[in-house]
Amino acid sequence: MAAPPAQRAAGPRVRRREWLHVLAAAARTPRGITGAGLALLVVLVAAIGPFVAPHPPLAFVTVPGSGPSSKFPLGSDILGRDVLSRVLDGGWQLLLMAAAAMLIGVVLGTAAGIAAAQLRGWRDGLIMRTVDVVLAFPQLVFALLLVSILGPERWLLVIAVGFSHVPQVARVIRAAALDVSERDFVKAVEITGVRQSKLMSGEILPNLLTPLMVEAGLRLTYSIVIMTGLSFIGFGLQPPSPNWGYMINENRIILTTNPWAVVAPALLIAVLTVGLNTFTDAIARVALGIERGEKLIVEAAVTGAVTDIEIPA
C-alpha cells in the first residue's frame, strides 16, 4: 500500500547533526560568508598570534608611546611594550573565556526556559519572576556585581558573565518551548506517562535547534563585549598579561602619540563582534527559510497542514 519511493520528498534531510547542516547552509549565503570571514580572521589572529609575536608581550622594548616604526609596526604602548606582540597575544584568553561563558549561559538558560515552559504553574512563576528581577539590571552591571562579589579570578569571571546571560536565554527559550510543548507530538508522548525530564530532553529540546543556535551566537558576541568591557574598567583579566579590553583603557592617555595602541585592539573586537553577529543573523535567516527563498507553499492541505516543495537548485 505504501507509496513507491519516487513519490516521496526528494533529498535526504539528515536530522542527526542537523545543526551542522544549518551552519553549512548559513555559510553558503553572502551574509554568512561575510560574517564567518570576519569572525574567523580575528579568531585566526588570536589563535596563531602568540606563536608569531615578534617580542615577548611583557617585555619593555622601546620608548613608551612611540609611533609605528620598521621594528615595531604598531608602535609601543604606555609602558614601552610592543603593541603588535601584545595584540597578537591578547586574544586567545578572551575568546576561550567568552566561549566558556556562553556555554554556561546557554546551558543554564535553556534548562530554566524549558523547565518553566513545560512545568507551568508556580515553578514557571518562580523561574520567570527571578529572571525578571535579574533582567532589571543591565547585563554589564549585573556581571560587574557578580565579579565584585566573587573576585577577579579568571574562572570566576567566566561564571559571572555566564550567569549574566541566563535570564536573557531563559526568556527566549521559554517562549520557543511554550510553543513546542503545546504541540501534539509532546502530548502524544506525555500520555504514555513518561517523566517530565524525559519529555523536556527527548521531545522539546531537539525542536529548539534554531533558537538555540541563534542564542549561542548572540551570547558569544555579548560575552566578548562584556568581558572586554569588564577588562576596560579594570575588573576583568588583570594586568600585566595582555588583553584587548584592558589595552584600550591603559593606552587611552597616549592616543595622540600612538593611536594604534588603542585602535588595533578596538578594531579586532569590533570586527569579531560584527562578524559573529552577521553570521548569527545568517543562521537565523536560513533557519526561517528567508535567505533560501526557494521554499514555496504550494497547497494548504485540508486543515492548514502545509505541503511545500523544494526547488532543486
Partner 1 sequence: MTEPEGLEAPGRRMENTARPPSRLVVQGLTVAVAGSGAAVIEDVSVEVAAGEVLGVVGESGSGKTTLGLAMVGHARRGLKIASGSVRLDGTDLLSLPPAELRRLRGAAMAYIPQDPSSAINPALRVGGLLTEVLAAHGRTGPEAQARLAEVLTEVGLDSRPALLSAYPHQLSGGQQQRVAIAMAFACRPRLIVLDEPTTGLDVTTQRTVLETVARMCASYGVAAVYVSHDVVVVGELSHRVAVVYSGRVVETGATTDVFGTPAHPYTQGLLRAVPSPERSGRLVGMEGVPPRPGQRPRGCSFAPRCPLVIERCTVAMPELIPAALAGQLARCVLVETGQAQAGALAAGPAEPDLAEPQESAAAPVLQITGLDAFYGHRQVLFGVDLTVPPNTCVAIVGESGSGKTTLARCVAGLHTNWTGDLRYGGQPLPAGIRRRSKDVLRGIQYVFQNPYASLNPRRTVGGLIAQPLETFAGRRTRVGDNQILDALRSAALSVEVVNRYPDQLSGGERQRVAIARTLAVAPALLVCDEVTSSLDVSVQAAVVELLRRLQQEHGLAMIFITHNISLVRSVAQQVVVMHDGQVAESGTVADVLDHPRAAYTRQLLDDVPKFSAAMTGASDA
Q: Which stretches of the chain bind partner 1, using CB under 8 A?
A: 1-4, 6-10, 13, 15, 18, 183-194, 202-203, 206-207, 293-294, 296-307, 309, 311-313
Hey, which residues does 308 pair with through a beta bridge?
A: 297
**Degrees, nearest 5: CA angle 174-297-1:** 95
**Per the structure block, which three cell numbers stand in for 67?**
609611533
Q: Which is nearer to partner 1, 149 or 313 (CB)?
A: 313
Minimum CB–partner distance for residue 281 and partner 1 (Å): 22
Q: Which is nearer to partner 1, 13 or 51 (CB)?
A: 13
Give the HSE-up count for residue 189: Cα atoms under 13 Å, Cβ half-sphere.
17
* Contact in structure between 245 and 227 (CB atoms under 8 Å): yes
Q: Which is nearer to partner 1, 70 or 303 (CB)?
A: 303
Minimum CB–partner distance for residue 215 and partner 1 (Å): 18
Residue listed under C-alpha cell 585566526? 44
> Cα separation of 76 and 84, whole Å?
8
Q: Which is nearer to partner 1, 288 or 311 (CB)?
A: 311
Q: Which is nearer to partner 1, 204 or 237 (CB)?
A: 204
* Contact in structure between 208 and 174 (CB atoms under 8 Å): no
Minimum CB–partner distance for residue 197 and partner 1 (Å): 13
> Cα separation of 49 and 42, whole Å?
10
> Cα separation of 116 and 129, whole Å?
11
Minimum CB–partner distance for residue 173 and partner 1 (Å): 16
* Contact in structure between 102 and 220 (CB atoms under 8 Å): yes
Minimum CB–partner distance for residue 116 and partner 1 (Å): 19
Minimum CB–partner distance for residue 216 and partner 1 (Å): 18
Q: Which is nearer to partner 1, 47 or 194 (CB)?
A: 194
Give the HSE-up count for residue 17: Cα atoms under 13 Å, Cβ half-sphere.
5
